[in-house]
């Protein structure tokens, strides 16, 4: 396999008519890493992937692969390979000819390209099916063939557009493990677009969270989970509650905010300007149903929903200006002291389980 390339995205924008799909984003994807672009539909993640691949023109900015600026290169000259969501296999060709197709286009001799295609099918554990047609395969098998076809060109980076979205939940988890193993064994850069938080957390070395054409955060899964950069990231990843208010006091490494309902909360953080808008995130799995020893680290609310999830229970509470403040309790904690919809409850958390969230520049 060829060496992996670092991908450097420099102030890249994509404009369609009067709509800006991607707003001047800059990002370095380290060589040999597994990078997941994550975000809601229409956030610009697929447009970014297609610009890296060369399937979409760049309105402004540059893309560098290794030391080469590839902004104006056609897809075949970039050293990248793309695997599409639909797999796009040729129904009339057997698997060997499907996988060897790009080599045929490059004029590689029949014997040589078929031998290389068989080698790739072997890597994907699809060799026994070499003479079959795509219609005779399951979704998971078709995906392996599409991967083999993308990898036969020895790319420096493999680009994957929602590759697992067509699979059933059980197969998704199995293929996730396969993709991770494949990326580690090949050592090339993988860039994978998904709207599944769980998928990104399971696969990525670096998660790039996009919203409205901008990058909200690019960091390791652990950092995104423990220290979301913005209120959007905290809400989108679903592991932090967000409380929004204004700064009423700050100093000594602590900031006090007041929410519209009048309650005050504290969070660790640098000095902030009084009256400035502020968001804090509170870890859902660290909130306790218990009276707070410090009033600024908890509030009273009303239970609006209880969902049993096996090893945990999700409790939703209305209060402190939030319609859906979430508590993830262990099953043991919950059943030792169960609560029901309509109950008044006291919630509390520790200072270290709240994080001061940044704000995106408008």
DSSP H or E segment with residue 37: strand 34-38
pLDDT value at residue 361: 59
Task: Please state, in angstroms and as integers, the Cα–Cα distance from residue 336 to each residue in 9, 289, 332, 333, 339, following that order.
Answer: 52, 11, 6, 5, 10
Q: For residues 139-147, give the mean pLDDT.
A: 88
Above 60 in pLDDT, residue 362?
no
Domains (ranges, CATH) in the chain? 7-226 (3.40.50.300), 239-357 (2.40.50.100)
pLDDT in tens, 16-28: 999 999 999 999 9
Predicted confidence at residue 1, as pLDDT, reads 41
Q: Which pair of tokens denotes residue 58?
A: 């760049």
- Give me 183's structure tokens: 């990326």
The order of strands in the sheet holding 80-83 is 80-83, 157-161, 189-194, 34-38, 206-211, 214-219
Q: Which whole number is the average pLDDT over 78-93? A: 85
Q: Kindly indicate the confidence band of residue 140, based on its pLDDT and cuts at 50, 70 and 90.
A: confident
| pTM reported for the whole predicted model | 0.90
What does the pLDDT look like over 201-213, one tens digit per residue? 999 999 999 999 9
Mean of pLDDT values over 73-95: 87
């Amino acid at each position: 396999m060829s060496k992996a390339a670092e991908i450097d995205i420099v102030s890249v924008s994509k404009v369609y008519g009067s709509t800006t799909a991607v707003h001047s984003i800059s990002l370095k994807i380290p060589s040999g890493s597994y990078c997941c672009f994550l975000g809601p539909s229409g956030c610009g993640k697929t447009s970014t992937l297609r610009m890296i691949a060369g399937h979409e023109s760049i309105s402004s900015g540059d893309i560098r692969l290794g030391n080469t600026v590839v902004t104006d290169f056609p897809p075949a000259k970039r050293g990248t390979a793309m695997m599409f969501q639909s797999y796009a296999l040729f129904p009339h060709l057997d698997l060997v000819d499907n996988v060897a197709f790009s080599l045929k286009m490059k004029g590689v001799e029949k014997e040589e390209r078929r031998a290389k295609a068989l080698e790739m099918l072997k890597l994907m554990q699809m060799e026994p099916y070499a003479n079959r047609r795509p219609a005779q395969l399951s979704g998971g098998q078709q995906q392996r063939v599409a991967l083999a076809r993308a990898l036969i060109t020895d790319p420096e980076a493999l680009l994957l557009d929602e590759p697992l979205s067509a699979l059933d939940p059980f197969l998704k988890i199995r293929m996730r493990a396969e993709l991770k193993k494949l990326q580690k064994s090949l050592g090339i850069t993988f860039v994978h677009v998904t709207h599944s938080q769980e998928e990104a957390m399971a696969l990525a070395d670096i998660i790039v969270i996009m919203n409205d054409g901008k990058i909200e955060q690019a960091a390791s899964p652990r950092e995104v989970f423990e220290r979301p950069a913005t209120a959007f990231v905290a809400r989108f990843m679903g592991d932090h509650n967000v409380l929004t208010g204004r700064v009423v006091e700050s100093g000594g490494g602590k900031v006090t905010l007041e929410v519209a309902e009048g309650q005050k909360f504290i969070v660790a953080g640098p000095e902030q300007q009084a009256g400035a808008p502020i968001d804090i995130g509170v870890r859902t799995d660290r909130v306790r149903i218990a009276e707070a020893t410090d009033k600024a680290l908890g509030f009273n609310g009303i239970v609006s929903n209880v969902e049993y999830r096996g090893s945990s229970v999700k409790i939703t509470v209305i209060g402190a200006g939030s319609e859906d403040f979430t508590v993830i309790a262990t099953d043991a904690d919950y059943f030792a002291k169960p609560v029901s919809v309509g109950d008044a409850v006291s919630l509390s958390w520790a200072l270290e389980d709240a994080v001061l969230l940044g704000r995106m520049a408008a």
